[in-house]
């Protein structure tokens, strides 16, 4: 069987995705009960980070250790990748030594090129275009708090960035309606919007997007790599701050999510993360559990060697 990769939400079937988030909750329960579960003994995950990370690095590294394996942090600064060794050559070499590779990168093409040359599964730990691992955690978190998200309305407020693009894919895979409120010129991928059809609506007014919504999400206004646009973006995005006044128009049982890190006072009001309807800390924790489910799914168990 050819090797599976997880570069986007569209790489898995809806049934596989639902299975992963269920399994994430099961693995969370095992850990909560102190049960040792080490199916990936002797397995090694390589983690290439071209951008900074707290949650993604920690959750993959801790996750591999908890599953009985190991993770190796690879910075382009300290590897030949940073000195121009081609992606394809690096993929051929690394995938002969590792059991899976996670990559956080700028250009999404880096992921597709690496995957095309890799013998082992490649996982997207965030690119300029997509952040599918975060969506697994978000979907697990919604499911744990409210049950199935199918048929619900989700509002994305702010930048049509990598997270927003992954929400467009998730809307198709998990069967929910998505409303995106963003300033003109900051829309998500036109290709993904065309693919999603009437499942996703783009609008300017955040109040219209939030009206009756069951889940409201946002993210920073300047993503990694856009630091020099920060001042211009702060001014332009000001009307898109998510705060209690905006959320007053949402459904009574609305949940608020933010993939973090957050900039309090910018895309969210100072106190928002600590409100009862905010599930941002659970969302962050679930990165660990659902990515363990992903690793379990993608990486062959070590006992195949026995």
Please identify, among the stretches 4-12, 88-96, 137-145, 158-166, the one whose residues bind ligand NVA according to the rule CB under 6 A: 158-166
8 Å CB contact between 106 and 161: no
Please identify, among the stretches 34-42, 54-62, 113-121, 145-153, the one whose residues bind ligand CP according to the rule CB under 6 A: 54-62
Would residue 219 show up in a list of annotated catalytic residues for this protein?
Answer: yes
d(CA 88, CA 134): 26
Cα angle 156-200-293, degrees, rounded to a multiple of 5: 70
8 Å CB contact between 28 and 289: yes
Q: How many residues bind ligand NVA (CB under 6 A)?
A: 9
State the binding partner of 180 from ligand NVA, ligand CP, none, CB within 5 to 8 A by kind: none
Structure tokens at 78: 């300290």
CA end-to-end span of the chain, whole Å? Answer: 20
Residues of each annotated binding site for carbamoyl phosphate: 53-56, 80, 104, 131-134, 259-260, 287
d(CA 79, CA 101): 15
Q: Is 54 in the site for ligand CP (CB under 6 A)?
A: yes
Rank residues 172 and 223 by Cβ distance to ligand NVA and give the closer one: 223
Catalytic residue among 99, 138, 159, 219: 219
Q: 3-state DSSP call for residue 118?
A: coil
Interface with ligand CP (CB under 6 A), residue from 66, 105, 134, 140: 134
State the binding partner of 54 from ligand NVA, ligand CP, none, CB within 5 to 8 A by kind: ligand CP
Rank residues 117 and 127 by Cβ distance to ligand CP and give the closer one: 127
Q: Is 224 in the site for ligand NVA (CB under 6 A)?
A: yes
Give CB contacts under 8 A, 24+ apart, made by 16-22: 16/297, 17/136, 17/139, 17/173, 17/174, 18/174, 20/136, 20/290, 20/293, 20/294, 20/297, 21/136, 21/139, 21/140, 21/143, 21/290, 21/293, 22/143
Q: Is 243 in the site for ligand CP (CB under 6 A)?
A: no
Catalytic residue among 164, 182, 217, 259: 259
Q: Is 139 in the site for ligand CP (CB under 6 A)?
A: no
Q: Is 162 in the site for ligand NVA (CB under 6 A)?
A: yes
Please identify, among the stretches 14-22, 219-227, 274-282, 287-295, the one whose residues bind ligand NVA according to the rule CB under 6 A: 219-227
DSSP notation for 3-54: PP-BSSGGGS-HHHHHHHHHHHHHHHHHHHTT----TTTT-EEEEEESS--S
Rank residues 168 and 288 by Cβ distance to ligand CP and give the closer one: 288
Residues of each annotated binding site: 53-56, 80, 104, 131-134, 162, 219, 223-224, 259-260, 287
User: Which residues of the shown chain bind ligand CP in the complex (CB under 6 A)?
Assistant: 53-56, 126, 134, 259-260
List active site positions: 104, 131, 134, 219, 259, 287
């Amino acid at each position: 069987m050819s090797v599976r990769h997880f570069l986007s939400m569209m790489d898995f079937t809806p049934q596989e995705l639902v299975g992963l988030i269920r399994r994430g909750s099961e693995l969370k329960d095992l850990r909560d009960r102190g049960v040792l579960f080490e199916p990936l003994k002797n397995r090694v995950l390589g983690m290439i980070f071209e951008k900074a990370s707290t949650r993604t690095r920690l959750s993959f590294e801790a996750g591999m250790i908890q599953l009985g394996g190991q993770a190796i942090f690879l910075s382009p600064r300290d590897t030949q990748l940073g000195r121009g060794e081609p992606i394809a050559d690096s993929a051929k070499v690394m995938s002969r030594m590792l059991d899976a590779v996670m990559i956080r990168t700028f250009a999404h093409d880096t992921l597709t090129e690496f995957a095309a040359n890799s013998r082992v599964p490649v996982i997207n730990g965030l690119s300029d275009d997509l952040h599918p691992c975060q969506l697994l955690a978000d979907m697990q978190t919604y499911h744990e708090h409210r049950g199935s998200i199918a048929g619900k309305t989700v509002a994305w407020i702010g930048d049509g960035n990598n997270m927003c693009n992954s929400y467009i894919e998730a809307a198709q895979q998990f069967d929910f309606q998505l409303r995106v409120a963003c300033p003109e010129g900051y829309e998500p991928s036109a290709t993904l919007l065309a693919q999603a059809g009437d499942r996703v609506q783009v609008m300017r007014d955040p109040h219209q997007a939030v009206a009756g919504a069951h889940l409201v999400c946002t993210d920073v206004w300047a993503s990694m790599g856009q630091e020099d646009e920060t001042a211009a973006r702060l001014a332009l995005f000001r009307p898109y701050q998510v705060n209690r006044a905006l959320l007053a128009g949402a459904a009574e049982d609305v949940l608020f999510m933010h993939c973090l890190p957050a900039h309090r006072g910018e895309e969210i009001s100072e106190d928002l993360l600590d409100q009862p309807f905010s599930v941002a800390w659970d969302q962050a924790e679930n990165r660990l559990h659902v990515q363990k489910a992903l690793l379990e799914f993608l990486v062959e168990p070590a006992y195949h060697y026995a």
